[in-house]
Structure 1
């Protein structure tokens, strides 16, 4: 039995999310079906993170086990020739038997992309969130620093979250403008259900001037989801990368290209 790791890029628009579901199309389901064909036997995969419906993956890391004798090149080309055009394996390599895409990860990184312009984009409609009223990224960034640390993120937790604890450790968070786009980059050991989208929606309230910077700290301390901002649209969210100990030899994700 050999263990393989791979990097997956996908556009989440038409999927119910990453995780396989009985009566819905999922990224995991598509990948497992194709890898099973290449292996000529059932293949189950584990991933660094589970993205929601409509959320995209730039450098999702997976692993799977198989007794099939295939080269990395055969796994890559055999899979990509059969996968739908909105899912692609970027590389495949053999890994140690103790590597686990989820449990070995030190951190995950997400980016939330807001197209901040009076007119919507015809080209980016399902790849970014669109907000027509002006946002000021600088107070958003300052307010976001209240979320750095090992903290209770109950106020930013989705109602369907199944985690046993609301505690998460955010190591880095930044909000900045690039032309027509406002970007939120966040890195943490793990994330709660809807956590990034709820943070993005809350920071939008600050960026629009409807709330003061100190309000974000008040929301965090209140631990009440109903007091935070909206759950921002899924199409703006990307799983950018997962970070692993160097000993596993997982290639670092290239710099994210959007916008």
Structure 2
């Protein structure tokens, strides 16, 4: 049978989602825990891979198993074998045709930036930080040009292995909550480091180092070498996946704010 699960994790404790030779990936930890519950090895397939230091409020993955367990066992039993910084939130049996990655219609991320002269202590590792005041209006104007289908080569990591840099951005918004700026993005898929690179460029806009028009020109030039540096991973959260209702999954989105 095939089981889909929702997952939350603190990315600072892992070397990204993907399984690592030293078993330090999120995937490694959860596969070990599920194997202890089911008594057999499993392979997890996720909706999207996150890098080292990137968190998830709602990652979705699936695995196949030949054993029968109550769905509560795949949640509570698995969590009993996991460190406190990663949790399975729900588990459902799904049709054999379901695939956590290929059945997904879109993915959502949020980047949380603490804009204050002093770096946060209680939020260390959980939010990004920039010390000088940022002007949000030009940042919002610049972010709006990201919506639609574009070649995102300007914000693509040099080591990105995606077959095409073209992605469709459904939403690119920036809101302010006191000293926190929350960047919200939804797209059919994302390139490696794409969000951190876009946030880095938008911070340049907020500083006045880059105009909204110049930001739009960067997107059109499709040259990563012309864009500002990649921003820190600390404030990036995988917040959910959009699936067709036919799969009957529980809520697959969770927002930071």
TM above 0.5, yes or no, is yes
Aligned to 1:15: 14
Distance in 2 (CA, whole Å) between partners of 1:99 and 1:204 is 39
Distance in 1 (CA, whole Å) between partners of 2:188 and 2:16 is 21
Aligned to 1:175: 174
Paired residues of 2:14 and 2:25 also in contact (CA < 8 A): yes
Paired residues of 1:18 and 1:52 also in contact (CA < 8 A): yes
Aligned to 2:190: 191
Distance in 2 (CA, whole Å) between partners of 1:41 and 1:143 is 50
Aligned to 2:96: 97
Aligned to 1:57: 56
3-state SS, counterpart of residue 3 of structure 2: strand
Paired residues of 2:139 and 2:212 also in contact (CA < 8 A): yes
Aligned to 1:126: 125
Paired residues of 1:58 and 1:239 also in contact (CA < 8 A): yes
TM superposition score normalised by structure 1 = 0.97
3-state SS, counterpart of residue 162 of structure 2: coil
1:163-221: CA deviation from partner (whole Å, max 9, x where unpaired): 01000000111011111101110000000000000000000000111111101111011
Aligned to 1:216: 215
Distance in 2 (CA, whole Å) between partners of 1:27 and 1:99 is 22
Aligned to 2:148: 149
1:89 to partner: Cα distance:
0.5
Q: Does 2:213 match 1:242?
A: no
1:30-55: CA deviation from partner (whole Å, max 9, x where unpaired): 01111111110011010010000000
1:107-157: CA deviation from partner (whole Å, max 9, x where unpaired): 000000100011111100100001110111221111111111111000100
User: For structure 2, which runs of at least 5 residues remain unmatched after alignment?
Assistant: none
Aligned to 1:43: 42
Aligned to 1:231: 230
Aligned to 2:164: 165
> Residues 238 and 68 from structure 1, CA distance in 2 versus in 1: closer, same or farther, beyond 3 angstroms?
same
Distance in 1 (CA, whole Å) between partners of 2:83 and 2:90 is 17
Paired residues of 1:138 and 1:176 also in contact (CA < 8 A): no
Distance in 2 (CA, whole Å) between partners of 1:60 and 1:256 is 12
Distance in 2 (CA, whole Å) between partners of 1:229 and 1:178 is 25
Distance in 2 (CA, whole Å) between partners of 1:21 and 1:48 is 18
3-state SS, counterpart of residue 108 of structure 1: strand
1:160 to partner: Cα distance:
1.1
Distance in 2 (CA, whole Å) between partners of 1:226 and 1:24 is 33
Paired residues of 1:169 and 1:188 also in contact (CA < 8 A): yes
Runs of 4+ residues over 6 Å off in structure 1? none
Distance in 2 (CA, whole Å) between partners of 1:163 and 1:257 is 28
1:252 to partner: Cα distance:
2.3
Distance in 2 (CA, whole Å) between partners of 1:171 and 1:236 is 21
TM superposition score normalised by structure 2 = 0.98
1:257 to partner: Cα distance:
3.6
User: For structure 1, which runs of at least 5 residues remain unmatched after alignment?
Assistant: none
